[in-house]
Structure 1
Amino acid sequence: MPEYDAVLFDNDGILVEPTDRAVLRGAISETYAEFGVDPTSEEVEELMGVTLDTLEGIAAEHGLDPAEFWHRRDMNASEAQCELIRDGGKPLYADVPTLSELSADLGVVSNNQHRTIEHILEFYDLGGLFETHYGREPTLEGIDRKKPSAYYIERALTDLDTRNVLYVGDSGVDVLAAAEAGLDCAFVRRPHREGYELPATPAYEIESLEDLHAILRGDGGAFRPDMEPAT
């Protein structure tokens, strides 16, 4: 009997390589320009991993409607990433094909835009592999619903009709969101996460998606980290 009924995956840094931050900065600068704002480098950076309070502060400073401004920011960021994917700048990881051999239902839950996730699944012909997939909406509510909130994870669990699920991610917010949903998390220490410290201890720490085969068989003891939660 498999250890888990289903596995949910983060997208960036797990299925495809992370987006070059310069591409996102360019999309953000383009958004400011559309609203007649010449931003400082700090204002561009503030819209990278934005909070609702930060966004509303920027919008108030420049007399902008925060919902309209954010929608354009997210649409521009999504289009820039889709173009990057088409140009080969955001490839799949080499271990992704092994997921087709897993004996569990699969899904995707990402902090990236839902539109971007759909493009990735279509472009790489992965749609048939996953039972469900969620990215965030380009709305103010979508900002608050991104991980470490478990909002989209909970929606995926409803779709999968099970809570015996493993979440696979490459960041601290993935570990925290899994914990909020009451799920085990497998942290993948990709090369870009060398030396990266986690805010909590995941159930497993792996180096490749191929290691999931052993975990789903119930042989994941070798991947359980021997460390204390970061403070």
Structure 2
Amino acid sequence: MKKYQAILFDLDGTLLDTLEDLTDSVNAILGKYGFPLRDREEIRKFLGNGSEQLMKAALPEGISETDFTKYLKEYQAYYKGHMEEKTAPYEGILPLLEELRKAGLKIGVVSNKFDLAVKGLCEKYFPGYIDGAAGEREAEGIRRKPAPDMIDTAAERLGVSTKDCLYVGDSEVDILTAKNAGMDCVSVTWGFRNEAFLREAGAAHLVHTPKELKNFILQ
């Protein structure tokens, strides 16, 4: 088994179960303007490419660019104020991070969620465990996943090479991100995509529990 220096995690669907708060926040905006609401399974399928793509998928077709920008900003503001109501780490995640820290591994989080939310959630749920967390910052010229930009930036901040990192995620976007960054990837099956979908998307390694992930990394 290859020895890694750092583990880079996706956030939503990998470390945190955020689906309920995301669904509620999207529906708060849809309901405010009289649009049809979305259920959890619809929102689950829309996730993985950031808040802009989430809202584009959730809103009806034909929305003007001006209105879309307004709805997106309102969604982000609402979610920022309600992102800790039903969200929680998946069972076994905190013990996993504890074991990785004890093993001397650096831990980073790279997410397509907007940057303020990523940092806020990591500070609340994983204090002392995360060496660096980064969210979407395309305005600064750092492309969102599956482009490798965020991975490259995270690895540089952790002081390691991408080839010495393992990327862990729950979606097809994560698989492609790791491929574009030239790094190993493990796909988890407890998140927003099921095992059959991940296999079809080309997952090289699949794990079903945080304990199985720990064994993959450390043994």
TM-score (norm 1): 0.70
- Write the distance in 1 (CA, Å) between the matches of 2:63 and 2:88: 38
The size of the alignment, in residue pairs, is: 201
Q: Could you tell me whether the CA contact under 8 Å between 1:189 and 1:206 is conserved in 2?
A: yes
**Residue 87 of structure 2, aligned match among 79, 85, 90:** 90
**Residue 73 of structure 1, aligned match among 72, 75, 78:** 75
- The answer on 1:176 being equivalent to 2:173 is no
Shift of 1:209: 2.0
Shift of 1:51: 4.4
- The answer on 1:135 being equivalent to 2:135 is yes
Runs (4 or more) in structure 1 with deviation over 3 Å come to: 38-42, 47-52, 58-63, 65-73, 137-142, 191-196
Q: Partner letter of residue 111 of structure 1?
A: N
- Write the distance in 1 (CA, Å) between the matches of 2:67 and 2:61: 6
Say which SS state the counterpart of residue 129 (structure 1) adopts.
coil
Which segments of 5 or more consecutive residues in structure 2 lack a partner in the other structure? none
CA root-mean-square deviation? 3.6
Larger radius of gyration: 1
- Write the distance in 1 (CA, Å) between the matches of 2:189 and 2:24: 24
Shift of 1:27: 3.8
- Write the distance in 2 (CA, Å) between the matches of 1:68 and 1:131: 34
Which residue number corresponds to residue 144 of structure 2?
A: 146
Shift of 1:135: 1.3
- Write the distance in 2 (CA, Å) between the matches of 1:133 and 1:207: 24
- Write the distance in 1 (CA, Å) between the matches of 2:37 and 2:214: 44
- Write the distance in 1 (CA, Å) between the matches of 2:188 and 2:134: 20
Q: Partner letter of residue 151 of structure 2?
A: I
Query: For each residue in 1:70-91, what CA deviation from the matched residue of structure 2 results, as whole angstroms up to 9, or x when unmatched?
Result: 333322233232xxx2x3x111
- Write the distance in 1 (CA, Å) between the matches of 2:63 and 2:87: 34
Q: Cα–Cα, structure 1 residues 26 and 61, in superposed 2: closer, same or farther, change >3 Å?
A: closer
- Write the distance in 2 (CA, Å) between the matches of 1:140 and 1:66: 21
Which segments of 5 or more consecutive residues in structure 1 lack a partner in the other structure? 220-231
Query: For each residue in 1:187-214, what CA deviation from the matched residue of structure 2 results, as whole angstroms up to 9, or x when unmatched?
Result: 0111754354135433321112222333
